[in-house]
A and B are shown apart, each in its own frame.
With several copies, the nearest count.
Chain A
Amino acid sequence: MIEHVIPMTGNRPYPPRTSGFTKTFWDGIAEGRFQTTTCTDCQKTTFPPKPICPACMGANVEWKEISGRGTIYSYTIIHAAPSIFAHETPYAVGIVDTPERLRIGARLLIPQERLQVSMPVAVGRMEYEDGPFFGFVEAEGHGTK
């Protein structure tokens, strides 16, 4: 479940496209579910979600909700951005590894001075004016140390 909501200013600088297939994912983000696909033949879970299984090339996949928790494998702070993102600089992006053995690249909505490798994070919904996107925030309880 997506517990965190982060208000964002303006529209999404580069809105994702939605296909008949990925609609399930994006609708889920809007509705508070963080989901991806798992192969019902070989059990491989993959992210981003895919209509075919990249492990066995089968076409039998099903959606499942994932924890949305993970730890930062690495991160960076972007000072020089594409012009469509310039108004959001500096912003942090990172690589998050999850307990489902997924690796996800995403925006990190975490103060720069707190960012560190191995920090626990949780998925959040970035609430832009024209629609949502996903990112990660510092996991609750982590900030107390």
Chain B
Amino acid sequence: MNEVTLLAASAVPVGKIQSRPEAPDQILEHELLSEVVRQSLAQANVSKTEVGAMIFAEPHIYTKQKYFATFMAGYLGMKCEGAVMEILGNGMTGGLVFDRAVDEVRLGRTEVALALGVNLETAVPATEHMNYTMRATGDVDFQAPAGFTPISWYAMDAVRYMHETGATREQISSVAVKNRKHAMLNPLAQFRKPMTIEDVLASKPIVHPLSLLDVPPRSDGAVCLVLASRRVAEQSGQPYVVLRGRGSYHEGVHQIADAPADMIAFDAARRAGKALYDDAGLTPDQIDIAEVYAPCTIVEILVAEALGLLEKGKGAEQTEAGETTLGGRIPINTSGGCQSRGHPARLTPLYNALELYQQLTSQAGPRQVDGARIGLMCCELGNYNAALTHVLETA
């Protein structure tokens, strides 16, 4: 099977982009994304005729143009011998998009595949958006009527983690402070002003014990990655990274199991991590940087523990001690993470891949991790009931 590289990654800065319905000049989904595609192909130094597959994150229901993938293939006049499709899978959407684009190259159906999408939601108030998303993160008949919200499950992870480990709220929230420090150095990040632990603790309560600055903002985005065969990457003359391994696991649970179990072990992440390390022939200590899908502060701690990047039960403490900060032992979410880079939910894993691309090709500017050669990314379904992992390596 073909070796696969990540040859280019372009995106708009994460932020509030969606236009309100009454705005005279509308931001159109296809205009926004077309420009990102154009930039990514220029960056990759490949012509559009070489592109043979386009795998899209399905846009939100608010996006007017439906069957967006095939519409875009027409808009861009992109002839493809490989797949043109849209994928949906919660927070894993972007990860599955990446994975499928990789597969099209791996299986030899094309030498260049795009993994791309647009996420527009911020003009819809959070309280309205949640009327929809609460039906995605729970059983609509047995759990949604109780009033669970998507991040309420993560909040329960936090309560349980504090109960079991004695971790403090300050330690958990130190993730947000660390991520803000990173975001201040990232031009694509949504929030870049200085922020202290006091700011986090004093922010509005959202889902106890998590406050506004522990949880993801509303974010829009548009991103396009260029996956290419090693041959195309070499001929491009451009910097690129190589996909070294992957792992995947779904534990057969949606939010909570139907029987008591250790919810905060993030067992799917542990198993997808093990599969990744086996596939790549690596151990956790060989990972230089990690971009993990972690909408809330607590989630970053739990997934980093499950992946063996932080010590089980000590992740909050280690985060507070700076181990995951730029310059620390294992920098995590140098992009700024969901809290500060922002969280255009269906694209977050693609923005994470972009960060790894920039770091591993030494294009991360002031937030560059010295000597970063091996980067891990991980995303999820539900309350990390499933995880998908990839490891990328400097070419």
Contacts and interface: CB of A to CB of B under 8 A. Distances in A.
A14 B66 CA distance: 15
Given A14-B145, A19-B28, A82-B131, A105 B256 contact: yes
A4 interface: no
Interface of A: 12-23, 46-48, 50-52, 54-59, 73-86, 88, 90-91, 93-95, 97, 101-103, 105-107, 112, 117, 133, 135
B146 A107 contact: yes
B206 A80 contact: yes
Given A16-B141, A20-B25, A52-B76, 12 more contacts: A17-B26, A22-B141, A51-B31, A52-B35, A54-B76, A74-B159, A76-B152, A76-B208, A81-B147, A93-B152, A103-B259, A105-B143
Contacts of A103: 256-261
Interface of B: 24-28, 31, 34-35, 37-38, 41-42, 47-48, 64, 75-77, 125-128, 130-131, 134, 138-149, 152, 155-160, 163, 204-209, 252, 255-261, 263
Contacts of B126: 80
Contacts of A51: 31, 34-35
B183 to A, nearest CB: 22
* Chain B CB within 10 A, most for which of A48, A82, A102: A82
Contacts, number: 166
B146 A135 contact: yes
B350 to A, nearest CB: 20
Contacts of A93: 146-148, 152, 156
Given A19-B27, A48-B139, A59-B38, A80 B149 contact: yes
For the complex of A and B, the 4 pairs showing the least CB-CB separation, nearest first, are A54-B77, A76-B155, A82-B130, A77-B208
Contacts of A73: 156, 160, 260, 263
Given A82-B130, A103-B260, A19 B25 contact: yes
